[in-house]
Structure 1
Amino acid sequence: MNRHQRSEYYVTDEGVFSPEQGPGCRRPSTWEELRHFRFSRLVPRRAPLAIGGTVDTTLSQRIAEAMVPAEETDQPDSLIPAGYTYLGQFVDHDLTMDRTDATLGERVTLDQLIQGRSPALDLDSLYGFGPDHPDSAVFYEPGSMRLRTGSTARVGELREFDEFDLAREQGTGRTLIPDPRNDENLAVAQIHLAFIRFHNRIVDELAANGVPSALLFEKARERVVLHYQWVLRHDFLPRIVDRAIVEDVFTRGRRYFEVPVDPYRDSYQDGHENGDRYATVVPGQMPTMPLEFSIAAFRLGHSMVRDSYEWNSVFNSQGIEATLALLFRFSGTAGVLTGDNRLPSNWIPDWRRLFDLVADGDAGAAFAPPTPGLNRAKRIDTLVGHFLGKLPPGTFGGRLSPGIPDEVEHNLAFRNLVRAEMVQLASGQQAADHMDLPKLNANQILVGDKTAADLSALGDAHPITENTPLWLYVLREAELNNGLLTGVGGRIVAEVMHRCMEGSRYSIVRRPEWKPDLPTPSGRFTMAHLLLHAFDHDPVLLNRVQ
């Protein structure tokens, strides 16, 4: 399973892009057309920057070195609780899961071929194909609509705790969840576990209220998905994207990505009225996934990552430091939780330190984080955490090139930049022109706000000032906007999230009258409320390591 690097990108109307073949693409076989996850483009691709059939990585190396400091730095904190960093990773895996990867060489069913290529905010990374499907039944408790959980391993005086780890298959190390990427680091694994607990509580409540067993799973999934989308629309997105853009997209609709076709207007019969074949969608079509979102704009989370966390009463800045390296280590995909290993009980998170349960969840003083307090995500800007410059080998698959220095190959910023070159992703300026948005000037591209990546040594005449890698451009926009995506990045993220909600089987976009039905004191419903409900509003369950 590739994690920080996909092996291939199938782009609609173009073909297959693969790192092994160099820049450019090839036409897919009929089988590949069926099997591949559907990517698309918002902006027409640009010519590759290639030398001798391979991408010239010199500039990418230079940018990556500026974006990832050689030592830990005082990158500014944001006001965003750090848990949202990993909620974003969970969302990314919900949107970009190609379920057919897990069945390569095995039986592939028609619903896998169809559903596995349709990005939608429908929690398929949580549910798979449901409890009655032979390929997904293993994710559920036997004979039940409840999702499986696992127990932790005793450590010292801390006993085993049921339902505080993901379910793991004894002897093989296989994590019993549909998307193994959600066990890549401990933070995203515990976010996944929180959604399992939320689903299980909804199932129990519906069953107690007399919902027939034949309807129970779909009723529970509908309720969970709609609350999840509500959290993303009203809680997550406004924290990372300029609120004016979010409100515009969700009240007036999309302008650039798969804009709905009006069948009663002749000017739309051959596509969007400006003739752009990338922009239109017939109502009812499943969404595609724009490369500009997947490879650039939604990689904003890489700049939010901290190098260490106040994790619980054992692992914190006043005791044993909970480094990002350890969060990777205590996972199944990139770490040591394989075979018969289970998560040690002393690594259960204190959720009070990752989300603001008091201010955002209307909870009482018992839910307040202890000193030194709540973890904050790093500001969204052009700096990436020190640890992400030296990724462990288990987090990505394969080498990019024998000519690339080893230390650079482990740099996540470098991998992001090279991946964009491989698929000929449009530059930030091309995207701004395409959306009729003001462009950043040379000083803004090279210097930013002077506290992040400094590229001034490249000089005002460097081509990067006119053709900036889209990921760098989006982060620079946010850096100059107090850490909120705006302009090109804000538009891409808000519109794609809107479309992926619209394309879900259950959708708050298609049901604008829907409101959360779980009562809260303030009438709001946030990720903090979802966690409180998942853990029975019990401060002990939310802070298991006393």
Structure 2
Amino acid sequence: MNRHQRGEYYVTREGVYRPGQGAGCRPASTWEELRRFRFSRLVPLCHDRPVPAGGTVDTALSERIALAMTPDGATDRPDSAIPAGYTYLGQFVDHDLTENKTRGSLGERVTVEQLVQGRSPALDLDSLYGLGPGHPDSARFYEPDGVRLRTGRTAGVDGLPDLDGFDLAREDTEEGGRALIPDARDDENLAVAQLHLAFVRFHNRIAGDLAARGVPRALLFEQAREKVVLHYQWVLRHDYLPRIVDPAIVEDVFTRGRQFFEVPLDPYQDLYRGGTGTGPGGGPGGGDPYASAGQGQPPTMPIEFSIAAFRIGHSMVRDAYQWNSVFNSDRRTDNPRQKAPATLPLLFSFSGTAGVLTGGRRLPSCWIPDWRRLFDLAGDGEAGPACAPPGGRVNRAKRIDTLLGRFLGQLPPASFGGCAQHVPAIERNLAYRNLVRADMVGLAGGQQAAEFMKLTPLGADQILAGHQGADLTTLDAGDRHRVVTRTPLWFYVLREAELNDGVLTGVGGRIVAEVLHRAMEGSRYSIVRRPAWQPDLRSSSGRFTMAHLVLHAFDHDPRLLNPVG
């Protein structure tokens, strides 16, 4: 989980924040400004609460809120109607938006392309493609043909054979075992690793289809990439976003444009003529000429999105999943200890970044997922009954609210670079880590964000009591006053969703929809800049969802969707 917690944040027009080494920021050097992943601030700094120049922030209130968000009974959190696979699609999207090769230590090797591009936060699947098959730093991710992405082979176990194409490609060395993918974070748990694999297979299927249609070899990779990126963005716009954000907000942003984040003065000029206008929400304080939304300018990443609004996925995580015919609660066996689902610690264990798939070890075949249990292939994907899960039961994500599961309240120290004997128990709590980091960069409170967006803020009773979420009514009077006047933005966004049946609205809905809209606009291939584009893989009903993408990736074959049987 540490890979979601950056060591540094370079905020345009402000400087470098280093959470964990005191609050406040320092000026960036010219070299650092060129190399930094460019974060921005959507909600202007409040004059009544500037970021402290040094020292540490007060963490006492963050600790009390975090403990309320991770109570012992959090395993009874309400389910949502969203299939659980979308939890990890959100994690995959997060990695696509924030992965950048220039985040290492000063002096670390960086290519000219990375230095110039800065790996802008665009929804362009650079976490899948890297710098392309023709670049020496990315060629290892591809097959020798320079078109298809590599896949790996699982290890046979318990009567199951070795199976090609059901794991990420890995370094097959005694020292290694790392996944051969551009972003190692996509191998930090088995669910996101397998989702990355589904996109690999989707690309390879598209490339094969185009080759069969006679597309010249010299054009094949780029045409396949274009088609994959556009279908991916379509899924996010028409399937993923409406599930997690109030559909009215999504429709407003994608039809009328952004109101607050990098808003161009003339959206038509900027979108179609490469202009560089800015609007009232263009950047820190509004109207920032360095944060224009012109087509020629890469997007920035608002810290309000990265540190708060898009951390909603933490509340969607289940403590365990009905993974396949081996790892589920209903497995029929004489050994009751074998009747167990795939717990979250196990999903982390069977990965290469945070788990045991190192030293040449391969994923056991019994850990290949049953995709019918993660996405509603029969319903959303309109597939036949063979693609329905056993008993019709799809794993459901937990409701987006102010509660987190038990595992996220007790992270293993190794997951964020610590050692067990040196890490206080509260620092293993992901809610605490999120809240403290927000304070360290001076993130606006929920009320301040609502005021900036001209929205009616949540009332005191809504903040403190919520609806079947974290109970803050037990805080003392002083803490209650602090919370209801300046609610931590992450908590505020989750509380908004909790009070709206688990769907982002208000501040959170607007931030997430506008940032993803801008990230699509900033991609080389963009459904925002090509509003007439339609997917050619749509079903007979005219829909294309994540379920359709998974079905296409696995050739609509139930045996490939569930090879464990």
* TM-score exceeds 0.5: yes
Aligned position for 1:504: 523
Structure 2 residue 279 is the aligned partner of structure 1 residue 272: yes
Structure 2 residue 304 is the aligned partner of structure 1 residue 287: no
Shift of 1:82: 0.3
Shift of 1:165: 0.3
Task: Name the SS for the 1:73 alignment partner.
Answer: helix
Q: Distance in 2 between matches of 1:269 and 1:224?
A: 28
Shift of 1:51: 11
Contact (CA 8 Å) 1:408, 1:414: kept in 2 or not?
yes
Aligned mate of 2:415, from 380, 392, 395: 395
Shift of 1:506: 0.2
After superposition, give the CA deviation of every residue in 1:457-483 in whole Å (9 maximum; x if it has no partner).
Answer: 225652110100000000000000000
Shift of 1:71: 4.4
Shift of 1:490: 0.2
Aligned position for 1:439: 457
Residue identity opposite 1:8 in structure 2: E
Deviates more, 1:43-52 or 1:200-209: 43-52
Residue identity opposite 2:164 in structure 1: D
Residue identity opposite 1:93 in structure 2: H
Contact (CA 8 Å) 2:295, 2:521: kept in 1 or not?
no
Q: Distance in 2 between matches of 1:486 and 1:315?
A: 36
1:194-343 maps to which residues of 2 (within 5 A)?
194-262=198-266, 271-272=278-279, 276-278=286-288, 280-318=292-330, 319-343=339-363
Q: Distance in 2 between matches of 1:421 and 1:362?
A: 46
Aligned mate of 1:193, from 188, 197, 204: 197
Aligned position for 2:170: 168
Deviates more, 1:307-316 or 1:31-40: 31-40
Contact (CA 8 Å) 1:61, 1:408: kept in 2 or not?
yes
Shift of 1:175: 1.3
Change (3 A) 1:178 1:327: same
Task: Name the SS for the 1:10 alignment partner.
Answer: strand
Where do 5+ consecutive residues of structure 2 fail to align?
270-274, 331-338
Q: Distance in 2 between matches of 1:112 and 1:133?
A: 12
Contact (CA 8 Å) 1:48, 1:421: kept in 2 or not?
no
Aligned position for 1:368: 388
Q: Distance in 1 between matches of 2:53 and 2:481?
A: 19
Contact (CA 8 Å) 1:4, 1:395: kept in 2 or not?
no
After superposition, give the CA deviation of every residue in 1:315-337 in whole Å (9 maximum; x if it has no partner).
Answer: 01122221011000101111111
Task: Name the SS for the 1:187 alignment partner.
Answer: helix
Change (3 A) 1:236 1:180: same
Aligned position for 2:473: 456
Q: Distance in 2 between matches of 1:382 and 1:215?
A: 48
Residue identity opposite 2:37 in structure 1: F
Residue identity opposite 2:115 in structure 1: L
After superposition, give the CA deviation of every residue in 1:439-460 in whole Å (9 maximum; x if it has no partner).
Answer: 00111111101x1100002256
Task: Name the SS for the 2:391 alignment partner.
Answer: coil
Shift of 1:261: 2.5
In the comparison of the two structures, how many residue pairs are matched?
541
Structure 2 residue 436 is the aligned partner of structure 1 residue 418: yes
After superposition, give the CA deviation of every residue in 1:244-270 in whole Å (9 maximum; x if it has no partner).
Answer: 0000000000000000123999xx999
Contact (CA 8 Å) 2:10, 2:38: kept in 1 or not?
yes
Aligned position for 1:357: 377
Structure 2 residue 106 is the aligned partner of structure 1 residue 82: no
Q: Distance in 2 between matches of 1:52 and 1:103?
A: 22
Residue identity opposite 1:42 in structure 2: L
Change (3 A) 1:295 1:401: farther
Contact (CA 8 Å) 1:312, 1:350: kept in 2 or not?
yes
Contact (CA 8 Å) 1:36, 1:98: kept in 2 or not?
no
Aligned position for 1:128: 130
Shift of 1:435: 0.3
Task: Name the SS for the 2:16 alignment partner.
Answer: strand
Q: Distance in 1 between matches of 2:427 and 2:277?
A: 44
Residue identity opposite 1:44 in structure 2: P
Q: Distance in 1 between matches of 2:419 and 2:4?
A: 12
Contact (CA 8 Å) 1:362, 1:521: kept in 2 or not?
no
Task: Name the SS for the 1:63 alignment partner.
Answer: helix
Contact (CA 8 Å) 1:24, 1:422: kept in 2 or not?
yes
1:35-50 maps to which residues of 2 (within 5 A)?
35-46=35-46, 47=49
Aligned position for 1:495: 514
Aligned position for 2:335: none
Q: Distance in 1 between matches of 2:74 and 2:359?
A: 34
Q: Distance in 2 between matches of 1:426 and 1:140?
A: 43
Q: Distance in 2 between matches of 1:158 and 1:103?
A: 44
Where do 5+ consecutive residues of structure 1 fail to align?
none
Contact (CA 8 Å) 1:297, 1:471: kept in 2 or not?
yes
Task: Name the SS for the 1:292 alignment partner.
Answer: helix
Aligned mate of 2:427, from 377, 390, 409: 409
Q: Distance in 2 between matches of 1:263 and 1:231?
A: 24
Structure 2 residue 130 is the aligned partner of structure 1 residue 118: no
1:130-145 maps to which residues of 2 (within 5 A)?
130-145=132-147
Change (3 A) 1:334 1:430: same
Change (3 A) 1:49 1:445: farther
Structure 2 residue 439 is the aligned partner of structure 1 residue 427: no
Contact (CA 8 Å) 1:197, 1:534: kept in 2 or not?
yes
Residue identity opposite 1:119 in structure 2: P
Residue identity opposite 2:441 in structure 1: V
Shift of 1:56: 1.1
Deviates more, 1:269-278 or 1:41-50: 269-278
Q: Distance in 1 between matches of 2:392 and 2:535?
A: 33
Task: Name the SS for the 1:222 alignment partner.
Answer: helix
Q: Distance in 2 between matches of 1:52 and 1:132?
A: 46
Residue identity opposite 1:170 in structure 2: D
Q: Distance in 1 between matches of 2:563 and 2:105?
A: 37
Alignment RMSD = 2.3
Contact (CA 8 Å) 2:24, 2:52: kept in 1 or not?
no
Residue identity opposite 2:110 in structure 1: V
Residue identity opposite 2:314 in structure 1: H
Compute the TM-score of the two structures, normalised by the length of structure 1.
Answer: 0.95
Shift of 1:50: 6.5
Q: Distance in 1 between matches of 2:233 and 2:99?
A: 17
Residue identity opposite 1:38 in structure 2: R
Compute the TM-score of the two structures, normalised by the length of structure 2.
Answer: 0.92
Change (3 A) 1:389 1:214: same
Task: Name the SS for the 1:150 alignment partner.
Answer: strand
Change (3 A) 1:420 1:219: same
Q: Distance in 1 between matches of 2:191 and 2:391?
A: 20
Residue identity opposite 2:30 in structure 1: T
Structure 2 residue 537 is the aligned partner of structure 1 residue 518: yes
Q: Distance in 1 between matches of 2:322 and 2:83?
A: 12
Residue identity opposite 1:458 in structure 2: L
Q: Distance in 2 between matches of 1:446 and 1:72?
A: 17
